[in-house]
Amino acid sequence: MNNYKEIHSGSKPFKRAYVALMLWFVGRAIEAAARVDGAVQAEFDGLPPEFTFSLGVMPQGPTMIVGKDAQGLVKYRGWNPEGQKIDLKMKVKNLEGAILMFTFQESTAVATARNRLIVDGEVPAACAIVRVLDIVEVYLLPKLIAKLAVKRYPDWSFGEKVWNRIRIYAGAVFG
Amino acid sequence: MPGPSLDKEETVFQPQRAYTFYSPTKVLSGNKALENLPVELDAMNAVKPLILTTPGLSAREMEKVMAAAFADSNLTIGVFAGVPPQPDLMLIRELYGLYRDNGYDALIALGGGPVMDTAKALNIAVSGKPEDLGSLADRNPLTRKLRPLAAILNLDLSGCEMTRYVSLGSLSLTSPALIPDLTVIDPRTVMAEERKTVASTALMSLTQAIEACLHPERNPLTDAYAYGSARFIMENILNVLRNPSDRKGRLALANAAFFAQTSFDNLAPGMVYELGMAMSRSCHTHPGLIMGLLLPHFLLLEMKKETATRKDLYLFIGGPEAFAGTMAEASFRKAVDRIVEILLELQSLVMDFPRSIRDVGIKREDLESLVEPQSAAGVRGEYDPQDIRNILEKAWETRF
């Protein structure tokens, strides 16, 4: 038949790699922030024991998994959900949606409002994780960019913010 | 000129009477909306869609846009870019074979008018058998659920894309099951079209919205959709024509078309719509242009009636601030004047925009045949022949 062809969907390796890198770094930064920042620790304390969540991109990743261990310590648990009991799955519907989020063109709250995320789990837990992500983004990003990425930029003292930022960066990079 | 009778009880979104409203489509609108298609199709158990489009849209590299939207989804998609302006049953049979032989399980219509008609008709065939088309034409209702159908809208629309109606040559089909499951309105597919095409589509949507808001069987939901459509059009049409790169405006007009069609689909077609379609069949002009030229005359006729006119039409046309600043008695007339102003602006912005129905090739002697419901050219639906005659004669005599 004329005017007919089949197209195999290609891939976007650079965008995938960027999102994978961001998820890896944010995952490790959450672990570090839980040790450094009282608000992040309080959010995790409010979640059930050994609570684990994943944030990933549909249909085939990348993904990051973060959870509390038996002692209540927050740990980054890698990218592979296989064999892990995950209480809350947050999935971005497609890679482009993840790019919008991780290039900070859209905050997590805006992305949720624009239906770019699917949440499989308890809504209060999802809200807590969105608040944690907001706090971590404030630490990781310069104010100019972080203001785009979070719902409300917090009014923290400069010294406290810089000192915590150094500790979180160090924790994320060196573990 | 006497004003409309004013009824203090008549307010917008009044929870009057019993009503039903049906709109089964899920709308994905805005930046990167196309990228949601793989996930949405997956949710409907579809993994191999066939895209239908026209050679014209294919030449504008729409296939690349679609391929990029499906990238990383691991899916294989088929593209048929040969939908002609007048699709027929022969094409449906050929596409039926193509769909079945290659294992497709969903349809995506990229473009309006003939593409949507083809997709809807093909969906009936592939969800059962091609003979179901004839059965539906004989008024036997569809008994099975159809395969997933997604509509990707642009600004070259026929007015029926999101409705239950299909027109395929001499075949006219109607079933609520034909309404697409998904509607995608993405800035990359709502491209800058020729100004005349954009104006025609917008006037068609405006007509559908206004006739819905004046319809005797209107309900709160048809009102809400008609209001959204009318506001989007009135706020964006001139901007989009002056500046075709206005992505936000184009997106608003495509949304307006969806709103208007959904409202229209829940009510019987109005007189101006039917007249526009009937005249368009004989003079081969986009019906939206004709509807735009008839609309002020229809509204003036409505205004003279003692009943049936709503006093808040200007809220739809002029917006809340203009409406609030206008005396109730003058409100309806202001709505008509505003539409005439828009038509005059369109004439200055769009080359070859007709100033009268005479300019689109309608002959005076043809007018009477439009009034006859039994004639081939006649208006479908039940209207007062004198009303139709009045509107046509006024429209014939008037040059905007």
Note the pLDDT of residue B5.
46
Chain B nearest-CA distance from A81, in A, is 19
Q: Can you say whether the dihedral through the CA atoms of B104, B107, B110, B116 is positive or negative?
A: positive
Tell me whether residue B16 is in a domain: no
Angle ∠(B60,B66,B71) on CA atoms, nearest 5: 140
Same domain, B51 and B154: yes
Same domain, B255 and B315: yes
Average pLDDT score over residue span B321-348: 92
Q: Are the C-beta atoms of B136 and B173 separated by less than 8 Å?
A: yes
A130 shares contact with chain B (CB less than 8 Å) = no
The CATH architecture one would assign to domain A13-174 is 2-Layer Sandwich (3.30)
Note the pLDDT of residue B15.
61
Same domain, B87 and B136: yes
Q: Tokens in use for B8?
A: 């203090």
Q: What is the rounded CA–CA span in Å between residue A97 and residue A87? A: 23
Average pLDDT score over residue span B300-304: 87
Kindly list the domain boundaries of chain A, sorted by start residue. 13-174
Please report which confidence band the pLDDT of residue A104 belongs to, taking 50, 70 and 90 as the band edges. Answer: confident
Closest CB from A3, A6, A115 relative to B76: A6
Residue of A nearest to B39 (CA): A93
Tell me whether residue B290 is in a domain: yes
Tell me whether residue B24 is in a domain: no
pLDDT in tens, B14-49: 566 788 999 999 999 999 999 999 999 999 999 999
Tell me whether residue B126 is in a domain: yes
Contact residues for A25 (Cβ-Cβ < 8 A; gap 6+) = A140, A172
Closest CB from B38, B55, B75 relative to A3: B55
Same domain, B67 and B127: yes
Residue of A nearest to B58 (CA): A3
Note the pLDDT of residue B107.
97
> By residue range, what is the domain housing residue B329?
195-397
Top-confidence residue, A147 or A73: A73
Number of A:B CB contacts under 8 A? 82
Q: Are the C-beta atoms of B128 and B175 separated by less than 8 Å?
A: no
Closest CB from A9, A11, A100 relative to B32: A100
A95 shares contact with chain B (CB less than 8 Å) = yes
| CATH number where B242 lies | 1.20.1090.10
Note the pLDDT of residue B3.
46
Domain count, chain B: 2
Percentage of chain A with pLDDT > 70? 99
Q: DSSP per residue over B285-346, as a string?
A: S-HHHHHHHHHHHHHHHHHHSSSS--TTHHHHHH-HHHHHTS-HHHHHHHHHHHHHHHHHHH
Q: What is the pTM of this model?
A: 0.87
Note the pLDDT of residue B30.
92
Same domain, B207 and B268: yes
pLDDT in tens, B271-286: 999 999 988 888 888 9
Cβ contacts (< 8 Å) between B64 and chain A: which residues? none
Contact residues for B136 (Cβ-Cβ < 8 A; gap 6+) = B124, B142, B173, B174, B175
Of B131, B165, B185, which one is at a domain's C-terminal end?
Answer: B185
Tell me whether residue B155 is in a domain: yes
Cβ contacts (< 8 Å) between A101 and chain B: which residues? none
Mean pLDDT of chain A: 87
pLDDT in tens, A48-87: 988 999 999 988 879 999 998 888 888 998 888 888 889 9
Same domain, B145 and B228: no
Please report which confidence band the pLDDT of residue B328 belongs to, taking 50, 70 and 90 as the band edges. Answer: confident
Tell me whether residue B8 is in a domain: no
Q: Which phi and psi (to 5°) does residue B170 adopt?
A: -85, -5
Judged by CB atoms closer than 8 Å, whether chains meet at B74 and A3 is answered as: no
Tell me whether residue B373 is in a domain: yes
Interface test with A, best of B26, B32, B122 (most A CBs within 10 A): B32
Q: Tokens in use for A24?
A: 């890896």
| CATH number where B93 lies | 3.40.50.1970
Nearest to B214 by CA among B154, B270, B143: B270
pLDDT in tens, A37-48: 888 899 998 899
Q: What is the rounded CA–CA span in Å between residue B99 and residue B128? A: 12
Average pLDDT score over residue span B345-374: 85
Top-confidence residue, B255 or B386: B255
Whether the per-residue pLDDT at B378 is higher than 50: the answer is yes
Note the pLDDT of residue B296.
95
Top-confidence residue, B253 or B171: B253
Whether the per-residue pLDDT at B261 is higher than 50: the answer is yes
Looking at the predicted complex, does its ipTM rise above 0.85? Answer: no
Mean pLDDT of chain B: 88
Average pLDDT score over residue span B219-233: 95
Note the pLDDT of residue B6.
45
Note the pLDDT of residue A162.
84
pLDDT in tens, B120-140: 999 999 998 777 777 777 777
Cβ contacts (< 8 Å) between B76 and chain A: which residues? 6-9
Q: Are the C-beta atoms of B147 and B127 separated by less than 8 Å?
A: yes
